[in-house]
Amino acid sequence: MTATTTSARSDLSEVGRSEATLRTFLHGLPGVDQVGAEQRAAMLGTRSIKTTAKAWAIDLAIRMVDLTTLEGADTPGKVRALAAKALRPDPADPSCPAVAALCVYPTMVPVAAAALWGAASGSGRPTADGSRMGLLGEPIDDGGPAIGRPPAGGATRVHLASVATAFPSGQAPLEIRLADTRAAVAGGADEIDMVISRGAFLSGRYQQVYDEIVAVKAACGDAHLKVILETGELATYDNVRRASWLAMLAGADFIKTSTGKVPVAATLPVTLVMLEAVRDFRAATGRQVGVKPAGGIKTTKDAVKYLVLVNETAGEDWLHPDWFRFGASSLLNDLLMQRTKLTTGVYSGPDYFTLD
Partner 1 sequence: MSDGGGMVDGGGGGRPERVDVRKTYKLFIGGKFPRSESGRSYPVQNSNVALASRKDVRDAVLAARAAVKGWSGTTAYNRGQVLYRVAEMLEGRRDQFVGLGVPAAEVDDAIDRWVWYAGWSDKITQVYGNANPVAGPYFNLSAPEPTGVVGVLAPAEPALLGLVSVVAPAIVTGNTVVVLVADTSPLPAITLSEVLATSDLPGGVVNLLTGRPTETGSWLAGHMDVNALDLTGVTDPGFGTELERAAAGNLKRVLRPPAEPVDWAADPGIGRMTAFLETKTVWHPKGV
Site stretch for partner 1 (CB under 8 A), options 15-23, 134-142, 170-178, 347-355? 347-355
Give the C-alpha separation, 182 to 164, whole Å.
9
Catalytic residue among 217, 256, 305, 334: 256
Indicate the DSSP class of residue 294: B
Site stretch for partner 1 (CB under 8 A), options 68-76, 163-171, 218-226, 345-353? 345-353
Q: Does 73 bind partner 1 (CB under 8 A)?
A: no
Nearer to partner 1, 36 or 350 (CB): 350
Give the C-alpha separation, 197 to 269, whole Å.
22
Alpha helices in 45-157 (DSSP H): 51-64, 76-87, 109-117
292: annotated active-site residue:
yes
User: In the set 348, 354, 355, 356, which binds partner 1 (CB under 8 A)?
Assistant: 348
Q: Site for partner 1 (CB under 8 A): how many residues?
A: 8
User: In the set 277, 350, 354, 355, which binds partner 1 (CB under 8 A)?
Assistant: 350
Question: How many CA within 13 A on the CB side of residue 213?
Answer: 31
Nearer to partner 1, 94 or 347 (CB): 347
Partner residues linked to 191 by β-bridges: 161, 224
Q: Does 352 bind partner 1 (CB under 8 A)?
A: yes
Span between the terminal Cα atoms of the chain, in Å: 40
Query: In angstroms, how far is CA 285 from the centroid of its own chain?
Result: 22
Q: How far is the CB of 339 from partner 1 (least distance, A)?
A: 13
Site stretch for partner 1 (CB under 8 A), options 37-45, 62-70, 201-209, 340-348? 340-348
Catalytic residue among 85, 217, 226, 292: 292
DSSP string of 296-330?
Answer: S--SHHHHHHHHHHHHHHT-GGG-STTTB-EEESH
Q: How far is the CB of 348 from partner 1 (least distance, A)?
A: 5
Q: How far is the CB of 65 from partner 1 (least distance, A)?
A: 22
Cβ atoms of residues 273 and 244 within 8 Å: yes
Q: How far is the CB of 346 from partner 1 (least distance, A)?
A: 4
Residue 2 gets the label, from left (phi > 0), alpha (psi -120 to 50) or beta, of beta
Q: Does 345 bind partner 1 (CB under 8 A)?
A: yes
Q: Does 351 bind partner 1 (CB under 8 A)?
A: yes
Nearer to partner 1, 10 or 344 (CB): 344
Q: Does 50 bind partner 1 (CB under 8 A)?
A: no
DSSP string of 194-247?
Answer: EE--HHHHHTT-HHHHHHHHHHHHHHHTTSEEEEE--GGGT-SHHHHHHHHHHH
Binding mask 296-335 for partner 1 (x = CB under 8 A): ----------------------------------------
Q: Does 346 bind partner 1 (CB under 8 A)?
A: yes
Give the C-alpha separation, 267 to 231, whole Å.
9
User: Which residues lie below 8 Å from residue 28, measured CB to CB, with a gap of 6+?
Assistant: 6
**Residues labelled as active-site residues:** 193, 256, 292
Residues lying near partner 1 in the complex (CB under 8 A): 345-352
